[in-house]
Amino acid sequence: MIKAVLRTSLGQTVVLLGLSGENVTRLMADEPIKVNLAELGMPPLQIAIVGGRTEADITAQLEQHFGPLPFTCPRCRRISHHPDDKRYGYCGHCHDYTGTPGGTR
Ligand SMILES: [Zn+2]
């Protein structure tokens, strides 16, 4: 895996991750690839990368490895951990059904 950190001319940080064939094989075998940004001199955040044919496949994989995912409103990006919000795609901040019922957004 190629890992690098770049800073743009605007001062933004870009983390580059280049996955080789071996890692792509792992992704297709439903194995998440984890990267700890502390290895790159960044704050100690961990990133998990998964692959799948559909968003439903990816959600199922993530929930298998990390537990239930919260609902993220696709309009305002607020996150809700309430199971009913996820079930109905409802955002309490927008007071509207903005998401896909049963989805994570
Ligand atoms: Zn919202």
End-to-end CA distance of the chain: give it in Å, rounded: 30
Residue 3: which domain range? 1-67
Domain identity same for 84 and 104: yes
CB neighbours (10 Å) of residue 57? 13
Domain identity same for 23 and 63: yes
Domain identity same for 29 and 53: yes
Q: How far is the CA of 74 from the centre of ligand 1 (A)?
A: 7
Give 75 or 105, the one with higher predicted confidence.
Answer: 75
Tally of structural domains, the chain: 2
Task: Name beta bridge partners: 36.
Answer: 46
Domain identity same for 41 and 85: no
Q: How far is the CA of 78 from the centre of ligand 1 (A)?
A: 6
Q: pLDDT tens digit string along 64-100? A: 888 888 999 999 999 999 989 989 999 999 999 999 8
Q: How far is the CA of 16 from the centre of ligand 1 (A)?
A: 30
Q: How far is the CA of 38 from the centre of ligand 1 (A)?
A: 32
Residue 4 DSSP one-character state = E
Residue type present at position 6 = L
Q: How far is the CA of 82 from the centre of ligand 1 (A)?
A: 14
